[in-house]
Amino acid sequence: MQDIKRKRFQALIREIESIRGRHTELVSVYIPSGFNLAKVAEQIRQEQSTAQNIKSKTVRKNVLASLEKISQHLKLYRQTPKNGLVIFSGNISEKEGAADIKLWAIEPPEPIKTRMYRCDQVFVIEPLKDMVREREIYGLIVLDKSEADIGVLKGKKIEKLKHLESIVPGKTKAGGWSANRYARIREGLLEDFLKKVGEIASAQLKDLRDLKGVLIGGPGPIKEQFSEGDYLNYEVKKKIIGVVNTSYTGEPGLNETVERSEEIISQASVIKEKQILDRFFGEFAKDSGLAVYGFNEVMDALKSGNVDTLLVSDAFDFVTANLRCKCGYAAEKTISRSHAKDEICEKCGGRLEIETEKEIIDDIIKLAENMGTSVEMISTDTPRGEQLKELGGIAGILRYKSE
């Protein structure tokens, strides 16, 4: 379940990162592991005194309210949590002059080493983003005598970094040239091209601190010549873990290199995710009755204990929301945030507005664990991941066909 926790932590960071204050009134507090909370509480009190001097009445009110929330929250802790504590607090209201002070308290997955207090128009999230950076990176080099492409596989996403084209001529010699002379010229140009590919690939890959391996692909014998020669920097060359045949170069070749390296990087998340999605969409295409999608349908199957594998998109956005209409009508519903504008008042036909909302992903995962269902978080970085998102962001592979 570590992948799920990581995905949820990433989603929380994206939520906090997206918030923009109307003024300098968003407070970020980083408390290192083992640091004395009493000193932090004292600093917050001092900042409250300083905030009294803020000229703008609205900004002063919001900053003081945020600091008071932080001060009260700190009283809940006897000591700093094992990995430290990060607190964000500020006015997130989108309406000018209105206040909606919200607080996030985060116990990070790794020890915090930075002590920080900052009041700004954005929350400081860089130290947290570094904790969830992609740590599963593979270098990709696809080449033949005509062109080369350099890329990386980061988790489940393939990124093209560089495209190079050569001036190596074909094997047919120009008129008037001897075969030997033409072959020497061709070999020299090819050697220059491979050296250039090696230099650029080394520059692109050698400083990636989480590089786990390098995969080389191509449609001809040039890839073996390149991988066996001294074209790559020593530190990069020693990380070559596979050389595979592909039908293409370019972006199709990068994708094909990853697909044909399935056994080599069988533990990589992109391969694991592909296998799960292939299984789901295979059942879906066969209309076998073992594929279920849509929030209500999946939840019914999950509650009955019939879901073997639950697939949740990292774009899953269902919440339990308290909705209210201007006419006074109120209701509580589980809805998709992206379709909230479609919620209509049953009383007057007006549009319902979200007053409060509660995330439900934790409850879904707990229910799945209790039912012995495996849970897989699916990215939107692949075409099939996007397809899952379009199906509502949640789906399941059933244990048996429902009656």
Q: What is the pLDDT of residues 217-239, one digit of tens each?
A: 999 899 999 999 999 999 999 99
What does the pLDDT look like over 350-371, one tens digit per residue?
Answer: 888 888 888 888 889 889 989 9
Q: List the chain residues with pLDDT less than 70.
A: 1-4, 134, 171-177, 267, 403
All structural domains of the chain: 2-131 (3.30.960.10), 138-265 (3.30.420.60), 274-398 (3.30.1330.30)
Say which residues have a Cβ less than 8 Å from residue 403's Cβ, sequence separation at least 6: none
Can you give the pLDDT at residue 403?
64
Task: Report the pLDDT value the prediction gives residue 173, as an integer from 0 to 100.
Answer: 56
> Token digits for 268?
């990589």
The pLDDT score that the predictor gives to residue 1 is 43
Span 26-40, pLDDT tens digits: 999 999 988 999 999
DSSP secondary structure of 6-38? HHHHHHHHHHHHT---SSS-EEEEEE-TT--HH
Give the pLDDT confidence score for residue 295 in this predicted structure: 94
Distance CA 45, CA 51 (A): 10
DSSP string, 46-86: HHHHHHTT-S-HHHHHHHHHHHHHHHHHHTT-SS--TT-EE
